[in-house]
A and B are shown apart, each in its own frame.
With several copies, the nearest count.
Chain A
Amino acid sequence: MAARTITFREAINEAMRLEMRRDPTVILFGEDVAGGATLPHMEGENKEAWGGVLGVRTGLAPEFGRNRVLDTPISESAFIGAAVGAASTGLRPIAELMFIDFLGVCFDQIFNQGAKLRYMFGGKAQVPMVVRSMIGAGFRAAAQHSGCLYSIFTHIPGLKTVVPSTPYDAKGLLSAAIRDNDPVMFFEHKLLYDIEGEVPEDNYTIPLGEAEVKREGSDATIVTVGRMVHFSLEAAEKLANDGVNVEVVDLRSLSPMDGDTILDSVKKTHRLVVVDEDNPRCSLATDVIALVADQAFDYLDAPCKMITAPHTPVPFSPGLEDAYIPSVESIVSTVKSFTG
């Protein structure tokens, strides 16, 4: 398979494009996903005015037409619920919830309908839908546009949750999510859209529920996800200069989560740090620690540490927001505190 360097944004776009070519039941909708294609003066030409707020969907409306790429009113409950209804009657919808912070206006359709439908119906239905949504701080978008919130969705039985960190993973995981027969929440960190990486041109999938060791090491295990994978790798690089070899596990999927890879790593390194951009309470970070403190307890040589955002909303002012986000320095110093 020929590979070339593309951005994370392009990788997501490509996954949707290829899956939509492959399967006519895949459709995409959300606010402005057809990007003004519904305007009278755009009609016929099948062009688009913008490919969404951060340009992730450029070109999809022109290629697939307005019947498969649909703008919606600002009615998240209605269109996420429509995804549930469509998925349980034969389509494979991708619904775009622009920012994950908007979950509050549509959460019922995700967690009480989409997530529970199969169970409530005794297994006699399935809901093959994907909700794509932007996460993350660092964009100066303030308290209502900067959350991660994947811990909440991971808490909910019936949902799968995916947080890619590289263009390669983004494309493979999104393709897998679209083909998956369960509802998948697919989280895209807005500060990763511009990063580049090698991505094959063809279709491929990465199974949900498989973590990847992004860097091997023996002195401590960092379990992390999303943008924090990059921060952790940077910290690992610095630590390596000081002779500390850190293993970096990128979870990629939070539900299902690849416990084996976490446990194997901790059994080897005997030390755990979880690095997570989400808020700390009842979170992914505590989840990983609870797993290890139960199932690898006898291998642990040091307290389990977590480096997360604080228990606060996301502040607007750039300096404050930078202080809110876990830093490379804090990762380095935490690891050093028990390896040094």
Chain B
Amino acid sequence: MSLTKEKMLEAYATMKKIRLFEEKVAGLFAEGKLPGFVHLYAGEEAIATGVCAHLSERDYITSTHRGHGHCIAKGVDINSMMAEVYGKATGACKGKGGSMHIADVDKGMLGANGIVGAGGPLACGSGLMAKTLGTDQVTVCFFGDGAAEQGTMHEAMNLACCWILPVVFVCENNGYAESTPWGYHCAAKNIADRGVAYDMPGVTVDGTDFFAIYETAEEAIGRARRGEGPSLIECRGFRYYGHFEGDAMLYVTEEEKKRNRARDPIENFKKRATERGLLSEEQIAELDSKVAAIIEEAFKFAEKSAWPENKEVLTDVYVNYP
């Protein structure tokens, strides 16, 4: 494993950023400050972080409605993210996209997506670009357990395998699609088993274990980068918040919630890293306060930013429309 101390610090900071960003957003939503729907990624931090640790800015990811964590892990500017969630002119999408559409193509983030399963085909596209132009760029497609049941994901996995594209499919199996449990909506025993359906490697890992994810992703992304084709990784975990904010999560039992808390990906990372002497308590405390400051700064940035002007409704539809 290629996990240097520096990488570990970075990974910790990323996970913490995601967690604090989501907690801030939850709070702001409860205060009535944020419009629309927000789907929070808290609890799943190890996945985006462990996977994106192997990607550079030139690599691509496609994302989901639950996209904040992917954005942060892929390096999208946090100020611009918070402003976008507000709908401010300084947002990543000038306030036109909102939480469900945050994107930054220059950072290789091809957009959160409001359509479940839509990222699969898009990922084939950036993969095809890399293959056609002969670059070594890799695309990672994040999708949920619910999305695994969407026809687009089947088509995308098959196409990526037929065309031998540099794409890695990462299924974030958090056990639910809205209030519908995974065991009900998915007939497979493991989503990773579906690798067989496309003759690609399929692995199930603990979605709360950063180290396991990091290692599994390293292999899959390496494979893709070497032109050996796609892989499928299923990460089993949970989400701490409801499907979207406002969901009281009546469908999750108290035991289940307790069990999840005990598997907290950030706490576990901290524990393992400090117990093994890889990181010190001080280093972590220092990062914690740095990250808290970054999130607070993003909040202030968003708050004081201006709203887009009304004429913006009509712009950016086309590059050129006579």
**Residue B111 lies at the interface, judged by CB distance under 8 Å to chain A:** yes
Q: Say yes or no for B285: interface residue by CB 8 A criterion.
A: no
Residues of B within 8 A of A122 (CB): 91-97, 316
Interface size class of B (residues with CB under 8 A): 35 or more
B50 CB, nearest partner CB in chain A, Å: 24
Residue of B at shortest CB range from A102? B115
Complex Cα–Cα for A157 and B314 (A): 11
CB pair B124 A104 closer than 8 Å: no
A74 and B146 contacting across the interface, CB-CB below 8 Å: yes
Contact with B along A152-187 (1 / 0, CB 8 A): 000001101000000000000000000011100000
Binary per-residue interface labels of chain A (54-87) against chain B in the complex, 1 for a CB within 8 Å, 0 otherwise: 0000000000000110111111111111111111
Interface residues of A (CB under 8 A from B): 25, 27, 31-32, 35-36, 38-42, 49-50, 53, 67-68, 70-91, 93, 101-102, 104-105, 108-109, 112-113, 117-126, 139-145, 157-158, 160, 180-182, 207-209, 256, 310-313, 315-320, 323-324
| Least CB separation from B100: chain A residue | A142
Is B277 among interface residues, defined by CB-CB distance under 8 A? no
Which residues in window 247-283 of B have CB below 8 A to A? 247-248, 250-251, 253
Please choose the segment from B18-26, B156-164, B199-207, B228-236 that sits at the chain A interface, where 4 or more of its residues have CB less than 8 A away: B156-164
Contact between A316 and B95, CB atoms less than 8 A apart = yes
B298 is an interface residue with CB less than 8 A from chain A: no
Q: Are B98 and A317 in contact (CB under 8 A)?
A: yes
Residues of A within 8 A of B128 (CB): 27, 82, 85-86, 91, 93
Residues of B within 8 A of A89 (CB): 60, 105, 110, 125-126, 129
Rounded to whole angstroms, the CA-CA distance of A143 and B155 in the bound complex is 24
A212, chain B: closest CB distance, angstroms: 15
Pairwise interchain contact A312-B105, C-beta atoms closer than 8 A: no
Nearest CB of chain B from residue A218's CB, rounded to whole Å: 27
- B317 in contact with A145 (CB, 8 Å): no
Say whether A126 contacts B87, CB under 8 Å: no
Bound complex: CA A302 to CA B156 (Å)? 53
Q: Which of B91, B181, B318 lies in contact with A182, CB distance below 8 A?
A: B318
Among B131, B155, B320, point to the contact of A78 (Cβ < 8 A). B155
Query: What mask results when residues 77 to 100 of chain B are scored 1 for a CB within 8 Å of chain A, else 0?
Result: 000000000011101111111101
Query: Which chain B residues border A85 with CB–CB below 8 Å?
Result: 62, 110, 121-129, 139
Q: Which one of B126, B151, B163, B314 lies within 8 Å of A105 (CB-CB)?
A: B151
Residue on A with the closest CB to B151? A77
A292 to B205, CA, bound (A): 62
CB distance from B174 to the nearest CB of A (A): 14
- Cβ contact within 8 Å between A317 and B307: yes
Q: Taking the nearest CB of chain B, how far is it from the CB of A311, in angstroms?
A: 7
Choose from A53, A91, A182, A315 the contact partner of B96 (Cβ within 8 Å). Answer: A315
Q: Which of A109, A141, A207, A313 contacts B118 (CB 8 A)?
A: A109
Residues of chain B within 8 A of A312, CB atoms compared = 313-314, 317
A39-B251, A158-B317, A319-B310 in contact; A145/B114 too (CB < 8 A)?
yes
Please tell me if the beta carbons of A104 and B115 are within 8 angstroms of each other in the complex. yes
Task: Kindly state the separation between the CA atoms of A171 and B163 in the bound complex, as whole angstroms.
Answer: 30
Complex CA gap A71/B159 in Å reads 10
Query: Can you offer 19 A-B residue contacts whose CB atoms are under 8 A?
Result: A39-B251, A49-B251, A68-B132, A81-B122, A82-B125, A88-B125, A101-B114, A108-B115, A120-B101, A121-B103, A122-B92, A122-B94, A124-B92, A160-B318, A256-B321, A315-B95, A316-B97, A319-B310, A320-B87
Q: Complex: how many Å from CA A322 to CA B74?
A: 32
Which B residues fall within an 8 A CB radius of A? 35-37, 60, 62, 87-89, 91-98, 100-101, 103-106, 110-111, 113-118, 120-129, 131-133, 139, 146-147, 149-152, 155-156, 158-159, 162-163, 177-181, 184-186, 247-248, 250-251, 253, 307-308, 310, 312-322
Those 7 A-B pairs whose CB atoms lie nearest each other, nearest first: A85-B125, A81-B121, A316-B98, A144-B114, A122-B94, A317-B87, A140-B36
Instruction: Select one of B87, B91, B94 contacting A318, CB under 8 A.
Output: B87
Beyond A79-B159, A81-B152, A122-B91, 18 additional pairs, beta carbon < 8 A = A36-B250, A36-B251, A40-B181, A49-B251, A50-B248, A73-B159, A81-B125, A82-B159, A83-B125, A88-B110, A105-B150, A112-B114, A142-B101, A181-B319, A182-B320, A315-B313, A318-B35, A319-B87
Q: B313 contacts which of A75, A118, A310 (Cβ < 8 Å)?
A: A310
Determine the chain A residues whose CB is within 8 A of the CB of B89 once the complex forms: 317
Q: A142-B114, A144-B114, A316-B98 are in contact. Are A78 and B121 (CB under 8 A)?
A: yes
Q: With A and B bound together, what is the CA distance between A250 and B232 in angstroms?
A: 50
Q: Given A122-B94, A316-B35, A317-B307, verify A113-B317 contact (CB < 8 Å).
A: no
**Chain B CB within 10 Å, residue with most, of A42, A182, A207, A317:** A317
A35 to B114, CA, bound (A): 21
The distance in angstroms between the C-alpha atoms of A307 and B322, with both chains bound, is: 22
Assuming the A-B contacts A112-B115, A125-B103, are A67 and B132 also in contact, with contact meaning beta carbons closer than 8 angstroms in the complex?
yes
Query: Is B312 within 8 A of A144, CB to CB?
Result: no
Residue of B97, B310, B322 with most chain A CB atoms under a 10 A cut-off: B97
Contact of B179 among A32, A112, A160 (CB under 8 A): A32
Beyond A49-B250, A83-B125, A122-B95, is A71–B184 a contact (Cβ under 8 Å)?
A: yes
**Using Cβ atoms and an 8 Å threshold, which residues of chain B touch A71?**
180, 184-185
Contacts of B151 in A (CB 8 A): 75, 77-78, 105
Whether the Cβ atoms of A105 and B319 lie closer than 8 Å is no
Residue contact A113 to B96, C-beta cutoff 8 Å: no
A73/B97 in contact, CB under 8 A: no
User: Are B178 and A32 interface neighbours, CB within 8 A?
Assistant: yes
Is A317 in contact with B122, judged by CB distance below 8 angstroms? no
Residues of A within 8 A of B253 (CB): 41
